[in-house]
Structure 1
Amino acid sequence: MLFHFKNLFQKAVILLSVSVLIYSCNTSTNSEQTTEQAIKLATAPAFNADSAYSFIQKQVDFGPRVPNSVAHVKCGDYLVATLKKLGLEVTEQNFTATTYDNHKLKARNIIGSFNPSASKRILLASHWDSRPYSDQDSVSKDKPVVAANDGASGVGVLLEIARTLSSLQTKPDIGVDIIFFDAEDWGSSDGEAKDKFSGYCLGSQYWAANKHVPGYTAYFGVLLDMVGAKNATFLKEGYSVDLAGGVVKTVWDLAAQLGYSNYFVDKRGSAITDDHVPVNETAKIPMIDIIHTNADNIANTFFKDWHTTHDTMENIDPKTLKAVGQTLIQVLFQEAQPEVM
């Protein structure tokens, strides 16, 4: 009996030792995997959300920026002047856009290039026009949309990124092209438009087929659409995952490491017809869409005041602007210093 107990004790010690060894190995492996998964962050400047907010306010102060309106012309001139003041090389791409309901629009895409001689280029974009009618409004369906979030928020973030880049004494070794697409939001919500884009994305379609620089290309692109609302959620938009999945992963991983996973939700969302589609399909540049979509509300895909007269500055939250802007700046500086990836 004593002999049997001794053998059992010895076996128990051996089993315990093996278990400890296995646990130690697993712990070591998990630790190594965590280290491998973590991204070594490049040093990047801070994004000023208050400054971005003021850029949004300035656009809204012009009134709805509907093509062919005085407000549209004045705001376009302001965007051009601001990009030039910040030291970017500016190209104005004027064109006539024909809407699905046969309106002729005097439109212009506005392009600002930071470090235009750099061979490695990243494309950032947003649309700057306002929708001509508030079709999702319960009362004032015929009024134009002020478009603080759906348009101006993305432009404001990109203007602040331009300001941040231009203010640096040591410039990153990378080129950045900022495009403000026009005539994005004159589309049909009732199926009247029969084209692939339902009447939307006229400016990006034009640019994709007529690039501002012949033969222009970029490593990848990021489109911003509705990036200013309080508690916004950015799901991994469907076309972005299918057409530029690697870029989606990079951006969402960086956002998570910066502490913004409550905004950049690790979940695939709906496929949204937006300005990134012609950039992918026609211009052949992998571009993703950071766009506010709701994770748990299929009936209301976008933010609550989308395409209504209530899309005003009350929607805009500097915390959301900070999450988006800081993530994008980090993306740029990771690309400028690829050895840290």
Structure 2
Amino acid sequence: MSEHPVDPATETFVAHRNLLFTVAYEMLGSAADAEDVLQETWLRWAGVDLEQVDDRRAYLVRITTRQALNRLRTLKRRKEAYVGQWLPEPLLTAPDVAEDVELAESVSMAMMLVLETLSPTERAVFVLREAFDIGYDEIAAAVDKSPAAVRQIAHRARLHVEARRPRQRASPRRARAALDAFQRALETRDLQNLLDVLAPEVVLVSDGGGIKQAALRPIIGALKVARLYLGGSAKTGATITTEPTVVNGSPALLVRLDGELDGVMAVRVAEDGERITGLYFVRNPEKLSRVEAETPLALR
């Protein structure tokens, strides 16, 4: 028996699904909300007359962008009431994402936090232009602005991001080596080795979402960060284990307490690969559903 043919609308949507998810995720920082946006995109796409669509990919990106913008404004109000520091929902990514410099940088924790400082429209324009290399005319149609206005927004957003974007990151190999040293120092509870792998100005941002204990403000400085981790692990009485993984295209650690997943520790490593400059610890259990199965991402 012959299989039922896939209708063109479904075939096109499936072909571009990873791209659409990545667009929505980079705009929202939440995989759960990105999935909701994709559902809304599909419902609208299913009702489109494909004979009237010249560029199906561009049309899908436009729908996704509009739905993500609507949700981004709702998320902004939700984040204002968030308890403590807010971090993006971490995604377990395939090893080849880390090798794709452009993709890994665009979804890194550090970059996602910089994007949080943009307005919704600035974020949409920046993401579509810088990460996905979409033309100004297409972006204008997606955000309901003129191409000239989009160019101005893109320029303003680019300057804003460049002023806040972390310096060039280390290669995946060097970043993994620094993380391995950090992991060994934690496991052996060696203060000096921990200080050796942390940059003096290292910044720790932790997100418990009001559900798990986490610092309400960023912690700055190697000694403060080291003492927090060594002291905190001693107080819990639980067996703490860590295992290497890759989240958002960067080396990270899965942290378990007595065998149960407790959080994800992503890191930012200096360009020379010697020391860790940023630590992003997500403990909010509502954000840990995407760290044990890979999420496929795409820029094209």
* TM-score of the aligned structures, taking structure 2 as reference length: 0.28
Higher fraction of helix: 2
Larger Rg, first or second structure (1 or 2)? 1
* TM-score of the aligned structures, taking structure 1 as reference length: 0.25
